[in-house]
Amino acid sequence: MRSLVLGLLMLALLGLPAASVSAQPAFALTRIELVFPNGRGEITVPLRYPQLRVFGMLRFSGSGIVQATWKVDGRIVAPVVEPSLFHEDLIVATPELPTFEPGLHRVTLEVSDPKPAFKLPTITYFVTAEDYEDFKKRTEKSR
């Protein structure tokens, strides 16, 4: 119902006739891909690595308001509330991810609205025991 109301509101703002709403498909998540800045679903970084982020590319049918939550190791990192309009892909990003604890970490974007009809992906990052500043010094020396 909320999607229909939002659709009618968007059509009214765009000056389109309300009759076109009936042809609009239901708001649904049809695809999601999560990647790190390296374009992959996995990355290894040193301890205290700055500005590690994940990007989510989402595709929908219909239009509406997307509600989701970024999670790392099951803990909430950030909420996502974004409009999705007329079959446009939506790209969302995490805030800076925690890299202060060595080991393997799992990241997911838990979409609550619209409810996905498929299993959501989880991607991983590994934090080494080597500190970022030491890593930078070591790699600069080898140049």
Query: What separation in angstroms does the CA of 41 have from each of 1, 31, 45, 129?
Result: 35, 15, 13, 21
Tell me what the pLDDT averaged over the chain comes to.
85
3-state secondary structure of 42: strand
89-108 per-position pLDDT tens digit: 999 999 999 999 999 999 99
The DSSP result for 99-128, as a single string, is: -SS-EEEEEEEEEEESPPSSPPPEEEEEEE
Which DSSP string corresponds to 70-101? EEETTEEEEEEEEEE-TT--EEEE-SPPP-SS
